[in-house]
Structure 1
């Protein structure tokens, strides 16, 4: 039974890791497949939009006959209840987990698995999570409607503050312990001088004491994708609530199971911009670190140099006229020149695509940027493309380049709100026929500017 259980768990984890679902991720440490970390990215058009919510999943030896236990770990150290069914203690109330009494047929069955559990949790992150509270239908009066509005407002704020900003600041070493503690309790306004940027070059790190963060690089890259959406959300929310306004406590929130605090979107925007600047600086730092790795002849440097030679030669032999060079001979910084295909909206365009590699590639995936940016629904206003390389071949640079070009040139893409990285271009591209005409004009204008700037 135990061996069959391990086989089943391993199979489910592997399927999720190979999946093209952009909103779910799973990982386990060493060979301990019974203890899994899971990431759910909040759905579009909800107060959880593009937030990063982590969960701990523990499989028992009787799995799949019995469901695993699931604990939410994105709770601001037990101070934030993100949903009527996701408690500040980390408890997740779901009938399939046996933590909630559901209707007949909603209980756990061996036919379900890790993916169905994560999708069920994700379904709780709806546009109106207040509806998840039992008795909602009987209490839908005027005061209750006001509560719904207030609940959505504070979840949106705390999704940004806790699941996104606080997490990225932690990864980047942008906040001191005292400031982080103060913000968690009182939302005290911090100032730039309160932040410290920890450099790994200056301190020795004991790996045994470093928390296991399997989604660290993924969250950094997704932050860069969704940065414009975060800014847009904050700007809209600033028109609806005032800084210093207190959160409204919901009828179902107890003293130890609540989401208390005050709104401070001005401060969140400042911190958001600090994170963006730190990530841009980190990408630039890779270039310096890369030259050092090249001089030392590290395995990563040799591998990237070899792949560069192969791809450059393939471009020469191929039908395409793209070109790729190393910046200052650095194998960690590639500059690709992309020539727009004839008879397309990119006809005549000449774009530089800068690819920065980490000395820890492929554990840290490349940071890619169009310079100058091209107006496109899959490219941020800052020039960062939203693309999907083969997850089983992350070390193959050719796969990355092909995926970048596929995202740029795809003629009939499937609508996917998880690729919303340029709010305005996305709205126009998927809007009315007239909107699409406006989009095409803006795209052609950016193509013309690329020729003028080259």
Structure 2
């Protein structure tokens, strides 16, 4: 194998195995030199939970020479998301040789795909204006005003371009909010086809499912961003051009958070409808005895049997005898804040499983820092076992029962519960009381 290809393959494998919730990479099997990467914007920055995509092109001299990197989340070349990330896709970094740097900051063979991604991610700071080379010599107070206004428009366009536009394209949502290109069961469940499509003719969208699931995680954060934006700027107020922005390398536009909120809610409705459609598609897949249907039926039977063997109190059943919809009854762990709780959890599987991962929702309300307001849990299945449905069940339970989790703002799915859980001792006591109350309520609702 070509040494550069071996190195790229190794780096891709390592990145895909790790549990970093803010980086993702993918390539076609036939073209390992062309890699797509996704960076999810850091918490407490104007890029928060945005989906920013980059294209990497590795030459035969890699790793002696750095790859070419292009930002592709630019709204068709109209959005400059950072002083160092241009509207034309240019990424200015000293390690890429696209920006002058100090001695020791240039590229070396010891660096790689992950170090480049982390360097780009570091540009997505709470004050991206400071990445402008002339920032050190900026004047006050006009410069403070520019910094604030730059953050405001990046926050708006992060939501509009990197999140809303991306999800609308994935879901086929038109300007009127209607889904114009619905996915039918016929398109999805026939996985036993004899003729495979030519990869080159199929759009390569490796992050589609990831972004859909993360949107459900961060939906309330997006709405909170809208609310904050409405408090700071008025609809129709134009963006302010920064001193370093040129005529073809800028971010022009007007604020309209009211419209962004409408579009966010339409995306949420479309995602919920898509999840519900899996049940109907699943019954058709079952009737056609597809590979996915047979596989899920076998996995369901194995999980039920494993529950019996382990004497677990949890119960699992199928909704309407549909192997694509599992209902888990979770019994709270004894001697914990969950003790005595009884929660119903719905697992919806796609006819394209495991390419599309299951969508899970707690139908019984629970106040928990890892469960969103609508019941969507934030959990991490083992990366090498995502085709195993039991792994998803175990990961959800682990997320519920973990008593000393490490602080990670990428798991911010319930704003109030997260703030209390990681707040002061008094906040944590309030969190425990709220959790216990929801556990007690779960029994009363039976």
Specify the TM-score bucket, using the shorter chain as the normaliser: over 0.9
Deviations 1:305-360, CA, capped at 9 Å, x for gaps: 00101110111121320010000000000000000111110111000010000000
TM-score by length of 2: 0.96
Q: Distance in 1 between matches of 2:152 and 2:268?
A: 24
Please state if 1:334 is matched with 2:326. Answer: yes
How many angstroms apart in 2 are the aligned matches of 1:108 and 1:49? 28
Q: Which residue of 2 aligns with 1:234?
A: 226
* C-alpha displacement of 1:141: 1.3
**Separation of aligned partners in 2, 1:442 and 1:237:** 29
Q: Is 1:384 equivalent to 2:376 in the alignment? A: yes
- Secondary structure of the structure 1 residue equivalent to 2:232: coil
What is the DSSP-based 3-state SS (H/G/I as helix, E as strand, rest coil) of the residue aligned with 2:278? helix
Distance in structure 1 (CA, Å) of the matches to 2:328 and 2:179: 35
* 8 A contact 2:179–2:270 mirrored in 1: no
1:376 and 1:415 map into 2 onto residues whose CA distance is 15
- What is the alpha-carbon distance in structure 2 between the residues aligned to residue 321 and residue 203 of structure 1? 38
- Name stretches of at least 5 consecutive residues in structure 1 with no aligned partner: 180-190
In the other structure, the counterpart of 2:191 is none
- Alpha-carbon offset, residue 196 of structure 1: 3.9
CA positional deviation for 1:448: 1.1
1:237 CA drift (Å): 1.3
In the other structure, the counterpart of 1:201 is 184
Structure 1 residue 24 corresponds to structure 2 residue 23: yes
Q: Which residue, out of 390, 398, 408, partners 1:398?
A: 390
1:202/1:439 CA distance change after superposition, 3 Å: closer
User: 1:122-133 maps to which residues of 2 (within 5 A)?
Assistant: 122-133=121-132
Corresponding position: 1:272 with 2:264: yes
- Point out where structure 2 has 5 or more consecutive residues left out of the alignment: 189-196
Q: Find the residue that maps to 2:36 and give its secondary structure.
A: strand
Is 1:222–2:214 an aligned residue pair? yes
**Any idea what the Cα deviations from partners look like across 1:216-247, whole Å, max 9, x if unmatched?**
00000000000011111111111010000000
2:133 match: secondary structure: coil
In structure 2, distance between residues paired with 1:141 and 1:319: 68
Equivalence for 1:160 = 159
CA distance in 2, matches of 1:74, 1:172: 18
Relative distance call for 1:335 and 1:27 in structure 2 (3 A) is same
Contact 2:171 2:179 in 1 (8 A): no
CA offsets per residue over residues 175-231 of structure 1, 9 Å max, x none? 2xxx4xxxxxxxxxxx54xx3431233998997654210000000000000001111
Secondary structure in 2 matching 1:135: helix
Alignment of 1:4-83 (within 5 A): 4-83=3-82
- In structure 1, how many angstroms separate the alpha carbons of the residues matched to 2:365 and 2:73? 34
Q: Which residue matches 1:188? A: none
Give the RMSD, CA atoms, in angstroms.
Answer: 1.4
Residue 105 of structure 1 aligns with which residue?
104
- Measured after TM superposition, the shift of residue 452 of structure 1 is 1.3
Aligned to 1:186: none
- Number of equivalent positions: 437
SS in 2 for 1:450: helix
Structure 2 contact 156–255 (Cα < 8 Å) conserved = yes
In the TM superposition, 1:276-291 aligns within 5 A as 276-291=268-283
